[in-house]
Amino acid sequence: ASDVGFEHVDVVVVGAGFAGLYAVHRLRELGFSVRAFEAGGDVGGTWYWNRYPGARCDIESLEYSYSFSPALQQEWVWSRRYPEQPEMLRYAQHVADRFALREAITFGTRVTSAEFDTDHWAIRTDAGHQIQTRFCVLATGCLSAAQIPEIAGRESFAGATYHTARWPQEGVDFAGQRVAVIGTGASGIQAVPLIAEQADHLTVFQRTANFSVAGSNEPLPRDEMRERQAHYAEFRERARRSFGGVLLRQNRVSALAVSEVERAAEFASRWGTGGFSFMAAFDDLIFDPAANEHAAEFVRQKIRDIVTDPATADLLTPRDHPIGTKRICVDSGYYATFNRNNVTLVDLRATPIERLTPGGLRVGGQEYAVDSIVFATGFDAMTGAVLRMDIRGRDARTIQEKWSGGPTTYLGLAVAGFPNLFLIAGPGSPSVISNAFLSIEQHVDWIGDCLVMMRDQGLATIEAEPEAEAAWVDHVNEVADRTLYVKADSWYLGANVPGKPRMFMPYIGGVSRYRKRCDAVAATDYEGFTTS
Ligand code: NA7
């Protein structure tokens, strides 16, 4: 193919969320020329798009940040224990400015296609860019392809519609409005209490009742921040050696080995401190159905205690999946919101949404008149953003065809048949089930080392071997099958998207084990990869 009109670089990075930002920084630092494209108007990715009221992280701010720069760690001060979206976005913007990353990023531009040819990729964007690059890094996010369900009559609705992950920059004022929220995952559960305070009336449409644990909105005490800053290196090292990349008070005791009173006391001590802390109350909550049931029952009892109307409490009570197997939610007053007299809960299990009408929603033959509809309906997680691009590897094979039976990768980092292409936090990586910052840094550092190795050895291509990929996929599944995670219809399994192949996507063997494996691959001359 002629390369007239093509710009040439070493690496194209797709996405400028926290993964893309660090990839730009690290790969430039290693001496590669880097060009990044970002669909959003600014940096931040997830934290740029998810501006819905109440959006906040479910991992503590002292853990959920970059570790690559000691200076950055010393100058950035978190204000809250669990960071809110605006603060996360400011952090992304600060990092972009501090390391002059914006000059390498083209905003408001989507990569539409990537085609492999011999030893390079030809990249095209929706703004007409054509770039030839040796390597392509997909930092496209795990939860970035927003999902709005197909509902009959959707176009006929005359009011305003929003998706939580495509929230207007200027915000939304629901005062005086009748509002519908569809979906009760993390996004719905965070948004509902705040929308209820504003709206005239809020109707929540729930398909699956979800477990949510009270979190904390408290400011982060300055002395705790200073203490962490004095010992960041040590804490980061411990996080790297942990299971999920966060330093939890993990109880090593089985929930079945203690008395009922002790069990209740342990759960109670963690109520109010967030979901992951709650799930660390005992060692076997995610493995043993009986242990899990104790944790589930504790939360169910909380719901009955908080929600005054018994019928509503009953509807809100989750019964069809083990606690924690759909990502556990962290809330600020979610269940109590249903005690307000301007909030109604509608059960979509009994009667799904029939259609949207010009004035609202029709469910079970009944019309719900609303002015606005909020879709808190989640994402085509982990694969959506990749599959929405036209990516063609060796022999022009498309990624859609390659992943038609489910996404397969080697180490979550590479795909057989797609040389010189790297994924960050892709399927098969622990990222989404861990402290994403820690996983992102590990992935990017590994990719950086790999590119340096190739430069040093004068290599043109690197590609995962199909056997290594198959073995990794088996391992990912094996590890998942030993847990209760596979018992829930979650986005981890692609179950929330009609027609998506059912396959457990994240690696839940722990970040420490994962890192050792990646390091071992690099140390053994990139075992499982073919180079040329
Ligand atoms: P989630 O967790 O995927 O939640 C989406 C919610 O929307 C969930 O309650 C779904 O019910 C519901 N949903 C999806 N499609 C429909 C249709 N067609 N009808 C009714 N209800 C529907 O997405 P979130 O944005 O809340 O959170 C994603 C992750 O972001 C979260 O796990 C954290 O890691 C951060 P379902 O349970 O599928 O029955």
Burial 357-371 (b: 16+ CB within 10 A, else e): bebbbbbeeeebebb
Pocket test for ligand 1, best of 147, 187, 192 (most atoms within 8 A of CB): 187
Which residue type does 447 have? I
Residue 163 Cβ < 6 Å to ligand 1: no
Model confidence pLDDT, tens digit, residues 252-272 = 999 999 999 999 999 999 998
Q: At what angle do helices 18-29 and 436-457 cross, to 10 degrees?
A: 30
Helix or strand or coil: residue 410?
strand
- CA angle, corner 216, sides to 214 and 218, nearest 5? 160
- CA angle, corner 295, sides to 306 and 329, nearest 5? 65
Model confidence pLDDT, tens digit, residues 218-240 = 999 999 999 999 999 999 999 99
Residue 80, H or E segment: none
Cα distance between residue 147 and residue 178, in whole Å? 23
Could you identify the atom of ligand 1 that is nearest to the CA of residue 491? 3
CA proximity to 140, closest of 14, 261, 32, 295: 14
Instruction: Calculate the CA 320 to chain-centre distance.
Output: 23
Interface confidence, given as ipTM, is: 0.99
Q: For residue 150, what pLDDT is reported?
A: 94
Cα distance between residue 513 and residue 235, in whole Å? 18
CA 82 – ligand 1 centroid, Å: 21
Model confidence pLDDT, tens digit, residues 46-85 = 999 999 999 999 999 999 999 999 999 999 999 999 999 9
Rg (CA), the chain: 23
Residue identifier of the C-alpha nearest atom 32 of ligand 1: 327
Q: Are strands 7-14 and 34-37 parallel, antiparallel or unpaired?
A: parallel
Cα distance between residue 236 and residue 176, in whole Å? 47
Could you identify the atom of ligand 1 that is nearest to the CA of residue 496? 38
Q: For residue 4, what pLDDT is reported?
A: 63
pTM over 0.90, yes/no: yes
Residue identifier of the C-alpha nearest atom 27 of ligand 1: 186
Q: For residue 50, what pLDDT is reported?
A: 98
Eight-class DSSP state of 38: -
Q: For residue 3, what pLDDT is reported?
A: 56
Q: Which residues of the chain have pLDDT under 50?
A: 1-2
Residue identifier of the C-alpha nearest atom 15 of ligand 1: 377
Residue identifier of the C-alpha nearest atom 20 of ligand 1: 207
CA proximity to 429, closest of 444, 416, 452, 413: 413
Cα distance between residue 148 and residue 162, in whole Å? 10
Residue identifier of the C-alpha nearest atom 14 of ligand 1: 377
Cα distance between residue 415 and residue 430, in whole Å? 16
Residue 183 Cβ < 6 Å to ligand 1: yes
Instruction: Calculate the CA 74 to chain-centre distance.
Output: 27
Q: For residue 215, what pLDDT is reported?
A: 87
Q: For residue 1, what pLDDT is reported?
A: 46
Could you identify the atom of ligand 1 that is nearest to the CA of residue 327? 32
Q: Is residue 20 within 8 Å of 39, Cβ to Cβ? A: no
